[in-house]
Amino acid sequence: MADSFVLALAQVNPRVGDVAGNLALVRAARAKAAAAGADLVLLPELVLSGYPPEDLVLKPAFLAACREALEALAADTADGGPGLVVGTPWLEDGKRYNAICVLDGGKIATQRFKHHLPNYGVFDEKRVFDAGPLPGPVNFRGVRLGLMVCEDMWFADVAECLVESGAEILVVPNGSPFETDKLDRRLQLALARSAETELPLVYVNQVGGQDELVFDGASFVLNADRSLPVQLPQFAEAIVATRWTRDAGGKLVCAPAAHAAPLAPLGAIYGALTMGLRDYVEKNRFKGVILGLSGGIDSALTAALAVDALGPSRVHAVMMPSRYTSQDSLEDAAACATLLGIKLDTIAIEPAVAAFGAMLGPHFAGTQPDITEENVQSRVRGLTLMALSNKFGHMVVSTGNKSEMSAGYATLYGDMCGGFAVLKDVYKTTVFALCRWRNENRLEGALGPAGPVMPERVIAKPPTAELRDGQTDEASLGPYSELDAILAELVEGEADVAAIVAKGHNEADVRRIWRMLDLSEYKRRQAPPGVKITSRAFGRERRYPITNGFRG
């Protein structure tokens, strides 16, 4: 029984499918941990494959590449340095497991398999993995480790099995995506497992963006007395050595080490959006981003996020005025670009709109102008941005928010054009709050300027698409405060009309918004991916049929 040991938490940012890159990432983490005197390095769930690997694990060549990388890491441990706890897909007897492997002394010492496979929300692990048995502890240099993978901490049975079979410390590698308020839920679950077992618990989470998901890190250590001696930062890589000794009763106790304060709710959302956009651009190797800067609040926030994520030199904005564009919008777009230090081009769309009018005029004879002509303007703007993207290699970022995506207040092949929709899961009321927050705050590590990033008028003026005279969003959708409250009940809560009305909402409004939500499913199926921040984002997490006759 070891009297003391040093466990390094490696909160790293892997890239799904990049086995060679992830191998190098683990090696770099081990070297840093070795310099800090670590005996063991704990890495996140499926760090070698990246998480979630989805159908990549169905490819034998991918599993073979992961196994080869694992064996290379095992060989590294023959040098007498720290051992490794590494997550990887594992093929055995024709079954595929989400595995955690202990590497030491030049070999794969042992492995444990994830027992509870999440199959809800964004997770569908039962589709590609087999469930492992309840695990027993692993003896590592005189310390009995109770390894349980991510979801296994959400249930009492795995921790109970581990403590009953002699574990001294619960060790939890994770790939746990960010959601608002999830940090507290994780901690409460960890406290429950620690209280039930009277054991300390180490929780290491990956960090970084992967398509719609953002992993926020925020790894931590709980002692058996439920004190919190270690808390790693959100949205940043970190490798921290934790030092453990035995108390008078022989129980392991972690000494205080790094302790980062959690971000406030709006700061955490802003951090998730920034990291999600940055990693989508970087991991897919785009030169930068291009977006339409209209002088409105959504495009102003999108531009600020892009600059904070990538720096001003990699953000290209385009103002595309029509005859309906106000002087205020022209001024506000220019002011945003100046405050952010980004390039702003102006390309008037009226010539293209007129050309479409002339081309379609004979076929539209005898009809009145309506939403068709409005959508032509939006699609001309989308075409313009895509042409610039094709020519110069910058990814188009669309600027629409969750309120618009829910209600269908967005033009297919127009303002929905893009490779990524950073505000896709952000309701309009939260957009307003984030803009006010960013004008007063700047996250550590942000590449944009300190101070305000948009004029107050951008936040204060009524939102409008400016596709016709006198147009405002709320004239079409109703007040955003009411719209967003009802949408949250329908989307996140799956509530029915009666339940929403019972909370004080008008029944006609609820039915109108439900109808808009249902009828816009076909648009959302064709929308670009965007960062998930709520408990139910559009995409793989919410799967409704397009052809759908149910209306409540």
What is each CA distance from 256 to 2, 172, 332, 457, 476, in whole angstroms?
A: 20, 19, 49, 47, 55
How far apart (Å, rounded) are the C-alpha atoms in residues 101 and 110? 6
How far apart (Å, rounded) are the C-alpha atoms in residues 271 and 279? 12
Transcribe 303-322 into DSSP letters: HHHHHHHH-GGGEEEEE---
Q: Which of 54, 66, 125, 150 is catalytic?
A: 150
Q: What angle do CA 306, 309, 315 make, to 5 degrees?
A: 40
- Is 114 an annotated catalytic residue? yes
How far apart (Å, rounded) are the C-alpha atoms in residues 508 and 499? 14
- Listed in sequence order, the DSSP H helices in 89-170 are 156-164
Find residue 216's DSSP bridge partners.
207
How far apart (Å, rounded) are the C-alpha atoms in residues 304 and 416? 19
- Is 150 an annotated catalytic residue? yes
Q: Give the 3-state DSSP-derived string for 330-354, with helices as H, strands as E and coil as C.
A: HHHHHHHHHHHCCEEEECCCHHHHH
Q: Which of 54, 101, 114, 435 is catalytic?
A: 114
- Helix-, strand-, coil-residue percentages of the chain, each rounded to 5: 40, 20, 40
The phi, psi pair for 242, rounded to 5°, reads: -105, 140
- Is 523 an annotated catalytic residue? no
Q: How many CA atoms lie within 13 A of 117 on its CB side?
A: 18
What is each CA distance from 73 to 29, 92, 114, 241, in whole angstroms?
A: 12, 19, 21, 20
How far apart (Å, rounded) are the C-alpha atoms in residues 224 and 256? 14
Catalytic amino acids?
Answer: 45, 114, 150
